[in-house]
Amino acid sequence: MTAQLIDGNALSKQLRTDVAARVTALKAKGVTPGLAVILVGDNPASQVYVRNKVKACEDTGMHSVLETWPTTMTEAELLARVDAMNNDASIHGILVQLPLPAHMNAQRVIEAISPEKDVDGFHIASAGALMTGLPGFWPCTPYGCMKMLESIGYELKGKHAVVIGRSNIVGKPMAMMLLQQNATVTICHSATKDLKAMTLQADVIVAAVGKRNVLTADMVKPGAVVLDVGMNRNDEGKLCGDVDFAGVKEVAGWITPVPGGVGPMTITMLMVNTLESAERRAA
């Protein structure tokens, strides 16, 4: 058996077309959605991601502001920039690209973003809203995973989902979203005793560890849906996920590739969150 591919580039293209149409409608009401992107330091991967975010804004007709600051910026200076964006009426979404330099407290910076503009969904108010089922911004990567499941018409009710990884930005919110759709959810992590015993029971597996080959073919139930959130480099320096793609695709029913899977969906859901923030303002 060979798994069907869930193509994050194709789904993103489709969703961004919908976003662009809604942006046009909002502009007709006099509101242009605006995103502020703040990058501190010169991490080359982060530079690529922020450029792609600005480009996604251009492609969907949104306004964007990109601020890049040197690593020597102080946390107080960064907090002042966040505050300026909180008070800028042309900005509906603010994101501070992570990771931040070591001398900054990322959580403190995130909490300085107004929850109404927290389009990354990282603020504790956003996390609390997701936890309790109240309206709020959902973190873009797990939100993108949910859209991928929706795109294949997958019914989560009563299914067993295993999330590998417990980060605040992927693993934990992913588990909450799956739970909200009435899946039975298991969160596995570095102290899990028998990961394979868990994943073999799973109808849906989300791998979000940041380590190659965390999931291999012998760990997957035939027909399972496998979503790969990892971004690593293999021995040849090529981008790869957490899943042994070549092996697992022979067992799984559905699988996301890396690159071209969850990654592009992260930026697409950022566009959706920013648009919805602006729509709320216009309502």
Ligand X SMILES: Nc1nc2c(c(=O)[nH]1)N[C@@H](CN(C=O)c1ccc(C(=O)N[C@@H](CCC(=O)O)C(=O)O)cc1)CN2
Give the annotated binding-site residues for NADP(+).
165-167
Nearer Cβ to ligand X (198/241): 241
Nearer to Mg ion (CB atom), residue 90 or residue 168: 168
Q: How many CB atoms lie within 10 A of CB 99?
A: 12
Beta carbon of residue 49, minimum distance to Mg ion (angstroms, whole number): 9
Instruction: For residues 118 and 114, give the distance between their C-alpha atoms in angstroms, rounded to a whole number.
Output: 6
Binders of ligand X in range 221-280 (CB under 6 A): 231, 239, 258-260, 263-264, 266-267
Question: So which residues are the catalytic ones?
Answer: 53, 97, 120
Task: Tell me the residue nearest to ligand X as measured from the CB.
Answer: 263
| Residue 95 contacts residue 39 (beta carbons within 8 Å) | no
Spatial separation of the C-alpha atoms in residues 166 and 3, rounded to whole Å: 26
Which DSSP string do the residues of 18-76 spell out, in sequence order? HHHHHHHHHHHTT---EEEEEEES--HHHHHHHHHHHHHHHHHT-EEEEEEE-TT--HH
- Least distance (Å) between residue 38 CB and ligand X: 9
Total of chain residues touching ligand X, rule CB under 6 A: 18
- Amino acid at the residue 147: K
The residue within the footprint of ligand X, chosen from 39, 40, 91, 140 (CB under 6 A), is 140
* Interacting residues with ligand X (CB under 6 A): 48-49, 95-98, 120, 140-141, 231, 239, 258-260, 263-264, 266-267
